Each structure stands twice: as structure tokens, then as C-alpha cells.
């Protein structure tokens, strides 16, 4: 591992690391040398075993990030198990699909709470000790729908737009204090979240035809950009969103 990308001895937290993109991100960080705490709705001992194969410390914590009043407690638990947190990857996210004119308020609130409110609070709670120490890396999961409106997913688009915007706000205030806050924006990735799209033959084909790379993305596609943003290679990168989208946004 080149010294710029080496994460040996760093402690990373990945929310929603039990599956999908979060699991691949956690494995990528561990391969680069970081100890990893997975935060997800249930325990995930099999992911912890996979992480440990890289010779790092790994733990999983069952926690619902929508429980915002308990975020401080979550930080304390992680610090007890792993030590100070150097890297926070806010990966956990949810999706709800309905025609916009019928989108239930309950689903709107649910998506906004997990994808935007909880992420902002986690940035605050985990960011404070980073600011006190004068270093830290926060990577938020944005989306193509931080840029575009999508179809039948207005709450998701609103939440991911919010994430990209407040990432810039935090970066403006925290860049001079040694804390980097950035986003990665995955394109269309073949994960459980997109099951409905993948199963819809027409939409699936339309999407594939529009991706310049000619394929859906994978969890492994996320690893390089996240390691970059988690490492000293990105020390002068603040408030930016890196799209990992097979070229979609440039089209
Ligand atoms: N898959 C894509 O095409 C795509 C595209 C753009 C952005 N993203 C974003 O990437 C991130 C990961 O997506 P994915 O496709 O791997 O999704 P996924 O549904 O496969 O996994 C999401 C993970 O988040 C966890 N999670 C959800 N709500 C939680 C909560 N309240 N508390 C704790 N954990 C919770 C789940 O348990 C799961 O581990 C999300 O933020 C998503 O919005 C995904």
C-alpha cells in the first residue's frame, strides 16, 4: 500500500456495513489497514470474520441510526471497543418508491430521517472529537439523485440532495480544523436496494443503455474512492462529491 493510501492503525466506522455497498466499503478500508466498526440494524458476525482476515480489529454494533438521541451513546460504545474514530463512512440509507402525488408523508419522514437527519447528527457527534484532535475524515453517501430528481423517489432525492449540500456546509467550517468532509455518489449499483429496478426488465434495460461504462456498478467499484477520501491522499479535498457512476452524469 502506497503511504498516501495506507490506513494502518486508523479506526473506521461504516454504517450499514452488513451488506451491499457498505460491506464492500468496510472490506476495502480493512484491506487498506483500518480497524472497522460496522453499525447496522442487526449484528453481522460473518462480515466481522471477513474483515478480520485482513489482520485488523473488527466489531459489529446493532444500532438503528434513526435513533438520533442515542448517537452520543453509539460513539461511546465504539470508542470503548475500538478507540478514537478517525474515519466515519455514513453509508446506511433507505429507499421508498411511490408515485409522487401519492407519496405517503410517513414514508417521506422515514426516508428523510434515516438518510438526512441521522447522517447530519452522526457528522456532528463523530465530528466533534475529530475537531478537538484536529484531524478526521467523514465520507457521506450521496447519489446520482443528489443531482437529479429520479422517478417515484422524491424523498430519496430530497434526502440525498440535502446530504450533498450539508457536506459542503460542514466542509466550509471544518476544513481549516483538519477535518475532511466529502461525499461519494454511487450510480446504478447492483445491490438489494435496487432489486425493484433490476427486476423491472424495461427500466433495467433503459438504465443499462444510458451507462457509458455499459454495466451496473458493484460494491468493489466504491473501494478506491472511499480509500482515497479516508486517507491522507485527500488531505486537501473538502466538500466535494465524487461520482462513481460509470459515466452517467457526464452523459
Ligand atoms: N445501490 C445503489 O445503486 C445506490 C446508488 C446511490 C446511492 N446509494 C447509497 O449507498 C448507500 C448503500 O446502499 P446499498 O445499495 O448498499 O443499500 P442496501 O439496502 O443494500 O444496504 C443498506 C444498509 O444500510 C443499513 N441500514 C438501513 N437503514 C438503517 C438504519 N436505520 N440503521 C442502521 N442501518 C441501516 C441496512 O441494514 C443495510 O446494511 C445508501 O446510502 C444508498 O442510498 C446506493
For 106, the grid coordinates are: 410517513
Convert the pLDDT of each residue in 104-118 to its tens digit: 999 999 999 999 999
CA of 65 to the centre of ligand 1 (A): 12
Q: What is the pLDDT of residues 201-212, one digit of tens each?
A: 999 999 999 999
Among this protein's residues, is 236 annotated catalytic?
A: no
For 209, residues 6+ apart whose C-beta sits below 8 A from its C-beta are: none
Q: Which residues contact 159 (CB under 8 A, 6 or more apart)?
A: 93, 111, 112, 114, 115, 116
Q: Given a cut of 80, is residue 172 above it in pLDDT? A: yes
Quick one: which atom of ligand 1 is closest to the CA of 144? 6
Edge-to-edge order in the sheet of strand 35-40:
58-62, 35-40, 11-15, 87-90, 136-141, 179-186, 241-244
Which ligand 1 atom is at minimum distance from the Cα of 18?
A: 39
Whether CATH 3.20.20.70 fits 3-250 = no
66-99 confidence digits (pLDDT tens):
999 999 999 999 999 999 999 999 999 999 999 9
Answer yes or no: is the C-beta of 192 below 6 A from any ligand 1 atom.
Answer: yes
| Domain locations in the chain as residue ranges | 3-250
Dihedral of alpha carbons 76, 81, 87, 91, sign: negative
What is the distance in A from the centroid of ligand 1 to the CA of 176?
Answer: 31
- The answer to whether residues 189 and 215 touch, using CB atoms and an 8 Å cutoff, is no
Which DSSP letter does residue 113 get? I
Output the pLDDT for position 196: 87
Dist. CA 79 → ligand 1 center (Å): 24
Is the CB of residue 153 below 6 angstroms from any atom belonging to ligand 1? no
Amino acid at each position: 500500500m502506497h503511504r498516501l493510501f495506507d490506513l494502518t492503525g486508523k479506526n473506521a466506522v461504516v454504517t450499514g456495513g452488513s451488506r451491499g455497498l457498505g460491506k464492500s466499503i468496510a472490506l476495502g478500508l480493512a484491506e487498506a489497514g483500518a480497524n472497522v466498526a460496522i453499525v447496522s440494524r442487526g449484528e453481522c458476525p460473518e462480515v466481522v470474520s471477513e474483515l478480520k482476515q485482513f489482520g485488523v480489529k473488527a466489531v459489529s454494533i446493532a444500532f438503528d441510526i434513526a435513533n438520533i438521541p442515542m448517537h452520543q451513546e453509539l460513539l461511546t460504545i465504539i470508542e470503548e471497543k475500538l478507540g478514537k474514530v478517525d474515519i466515519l463512512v455514513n453509508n446506511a440509507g433507505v429507499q421508498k418508491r411511490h408515485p409522487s402525488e401519492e407519496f405517503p408523508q410517513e414514508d417521506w419522514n422515514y426516508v428523510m430521517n434515516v438518510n438526512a437527519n441521522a447522517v447530519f447528527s452522526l457528522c456532528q457527534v463523530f465530528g466533534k472529537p475529530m475537531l478537538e484532535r484536529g484531524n478526521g475524515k467523514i465520507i457521506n453517501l450521496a447519489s446520482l439523485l443528489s443531482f437529479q430528481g429520479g422517478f417515484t423517489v422524491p424523498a430519496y432525492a430530497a434526502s440525498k440532495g440535502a446530504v450533498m449540500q450539508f457536506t459542503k456546509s460542514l466542509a466550509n467550517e471544518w476544513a481549516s480544523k483538519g477535518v475532511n468532509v466529502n461525499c461519494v455518489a454511487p450510480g446504478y449499483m447492483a445491490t438489494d436496494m435496487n432489486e425493484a429496478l433490476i427486476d423491472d426488465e424495461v427500466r433495467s434495460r433503459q438504465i443499462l443503455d444510458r451507462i457509458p461504462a455499459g454495466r451496473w456498478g458493484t460494491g468493489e467499484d466504491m473501494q478506491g474512492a472511499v480509500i482515497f477520501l479516508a486517507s491522507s491522499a485527500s488531505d486537501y479535498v473538502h466538500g466535494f462529491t465524487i461520482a462513481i457512476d460509470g459515466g452517467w452524469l457526464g452523459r
